[in-house]
Structure 1
Amino acid sequence: MKKFQTMTFAKCRSVISFQYKTYDSTFVSVKSVRLGALNVLGLVKRIASEFRLEYSLKSLYCSLVRSIIEYEPVLWDTHTASSYLQLKRIQRCFLSFAFYVLKIGHAPDDYFPVLSVLNFTLLANRRAAANLSFLHKLLDGSINA
């Protein structure tokens, strides 16, 4: 029996769960990107609560959390403000954690000190760069679409 995966997109918070089937295939529902990234971020925060090196924190976040947030950004890029804010919230949650663990002084809601210490780029800038890179490859024929 073949298995497929589905992902539901909806504007409301309470999505109606439905299991899709064909005569010989079952479609399995996949967690949303946001919830998956938040779960992994919780794991990173538990593991790294005693870390004091910027490189260690950055490596964990980039490899485990940011890779989920930025997976195929061209395909499911955030087209609404609320979707963008949900992903931005995940990055800010990590940055707040990094402020605390690395003991970086900062003003409330000012994330630029930790961005510079960790040598991070804003999430919106990274997504825009990925979209431009995809468009460039599409136009020069590097990608067959």
Structure 2
Amino acid sequence: MRVADEGVMNLGFKFIHKLDPGSHINYVCCKGFKTLRFIMKLSKNIRSRMFIKALFYELVRPILEYDADVWDPHTANDSLQLERVQQRFMRFACNLLQIPCEPYDYTPLSDLLN
């Protein structure tokens, strides 16, 4: 595979010759999941909701939102990929803080973290 097919990294963006943001969104999601795994290992014994929220807001959200105006997720699949990272954090936070939440209903946790 040629370098042109894989894309080029510039200023934190992954560009490919078709200018499709899909490869960049994949890159961002992988990087977000890696950072989230680091947070999960770091905070598995911590029960402070403010600490967990701060870790997510300071380490993961900037990765997911960095210059989103340029690579705006314009398809439902792209948006779903980004949403998966946030849902994974919400499941982790619910389990860690022992908050009962129905699958895909994180309203109790959102109310607690705000």
What is the TM-score when the length of structure 1 is the normalising length? 0.62
Deviation (angstroms), 1:98: 0.2
More contact order relative to length (CA 8 Å, sep ≥ 6): 2
What is the count of residue pairs matched by the alignment?
A: 99
- State the partner residue of 1:106: 101
Deviation (angstroms), 1:109: 2.2
Q: Structure 1: any 5+ residue segments left out of the alignment?
A: 16-30, 120-145
Deviation (angstroms), 1:114: 0.9
1:5 and 2:15 are equivalent in the alignment: no
Partners of 1:105 and 1:112 lie apart in 2 by: 10
Larger radius of gyration: 1
> Percent of pairs identical after alignment?
32
- State the partner residue of 1:85: 80
Deviation (angstroms), 1:65: 0.4
Deviation (angstroms), 1:107: 2.0
Deviation (angstroms), 1:82: 0.5
Q: Which of 62, 75, 80 is residue 70 of structure 2 equivalent to?
A: 75
Partners of 2:33 and 2:102 lie apart in 1 by: 25
Q: Which of 38, 42, 46 is residue 37 of structure 2 equivalent to?
A: 42
Q: 1 or 2, which has the higher helix percentage?
A: 2
What is the TM-score when the length of structure 2 is the normalising length? 0.78
| 1:9-43: CA deviation from partner (whole Å, max 9, x where unpaired) | 577x9x8xxxxxxxxxxxxxxx8111111110110
RMSD of aligned residue pairs (Cα, Å)? 2.2
- State the partner residue of 1:51: 46
